[in-house]
Amino acid sequence: MTSVAHSVAVTALVTVLGSGAFWWGTDGFTAFTAETARRADVLRAPRPLPAAVLEDQDGRVFGIDDYRGRLLAVEFIYTRCTTICNSLGMAFRQIRDRVPADALGRDVALLSISFDPERDDPASLKAYGIAHGADGEHWRLARVRDAAQLRALLEAFGVVVIADRFGGFEHNAAIHLVGRDGRLVEISDLDVPLQFAAKLEEAL
C-alpha cells in the first residue's frame, strides 16, 4: 500500500506545483495572451519610457518628456495602414472630442507615433493627420527617425510590429496612457474610446 500512498502524495505535489506555476504564469488565471499580460503588467507597475527624439508632421523635433505634467494618449500607426489604424484614428478622434476644450493642450495631449519612419515623412504624416481630423497641435503625428530609439520605445510600450505579406504591418493596436510623471500607466482597447476619455476626464 505504500506505493499507492507514494503515488498519491507525488500526484498531489505535482498538481499543486503545476497549478501554482499556471497561477504565477498567467497572472492568476487572467492573462493567457501576451497582450493581456502586457496590460496587467503596466497597471501593476507603470513603466518608465526611454528617451527618443521625435519629429512631427511639421518637421518639429521634440521628445515624449516634453509632455511631462500633462496626460498623454499615445497610439502607434503607419500611414499606409488601411485597417486597424483607421479604427485607432477614429478612437483617437472620439477621445479628443470628449476631452473638455479648455483641458486640451493644457492638460491633455494626443500623439500618434509612426513605426515606419522610412516611408512616413512629415508630409505623409500631415496627410494622415488631416484625413483623421488631427489638428497638429493638441494631436500631433510623429516619427522616430533613429532605429535604435524606435526599437527601445516599441519595446517599452510592448508593441510588436511584424511585416505582413502585402508590404504593410500587423501590430498590437491599443491606446496607451502616459501619466504626468512620464510613465506608461495604462493600456486600453481601441474599441472603448469613451471609457478611455472618461478616465482622462476623471484624472483632470
Partner 1 sequence: MTAIAPDRARIRFCALGALYLLLAAPPVRSWLEATMSGHMLVQIPLLAAIGFAACRLLVAHHQERLLAIAGGPIPLVVVALFASSWWMLPRALDDALAHPLVEVAKFVSLPALVGVPLALAWRRLGIIGRGFVWTNFISMLAVLGWLYLAAPQRLCNSYLVDQQESAGWLMVKLALLLFAAWLGHLFVGGPPVGNPRAVHGP
Residues that bind partner 1 (CB under 8 A): 3-4, 6-11, 13-15, 18, 21-22, 25-26, 31-37, 160, 162, 164, 170, 172
Cα 162 to Cα 12: distance, rounded to the nearest angstrom: 43
The least CB distance from residue 48 to partner 1, in Å, is 19
The least CB distance from residue 11 to partner 1, in Å, is 4
The residue among 15 and 94 lying less far from partner 1, judged by its C-beta, is 15
The residue among 78 and 139 lying less far from partner 1, judged by its C-beta, is 78
Q: How many CA atoms lie within 13 A of 90 on its CB side?
A: 10
- Report residue 5 as a C-alpha cell: 500512498
The least CB distance from residue 15 to partner 1, in Å, is 6
The residue among 65 and 164 lying less far from partner 1, judged by its C-beta, is 164
Cα 136 to Cα 193: distance, rounded to the nearest angstrom: 20
The least CB distance from residue 5 to partner 1, in Å, is 9
Residue 121, classified by CB atoms within 10 Å of its CB into exposed (0-12), middle (13-18) or buried (19+), is middle
The least CB distance from residue 73 to partner 1, in Å, is 21
Helix locations, the chain, DSSP H: 2-25, 34-44, 84-98, 122-132, 147-157, 193-203
Q: Residue type for 59, please?
A: G
Q: What phi, psi does 70 have (nearest 5°)?
A: -120, 160
The residue among 101 and 165 lying less far from partner 1, judged by its C-beta, is 165
The residue among 103 and 160 lying less far from partner 1, judged by its C-beta, is 160
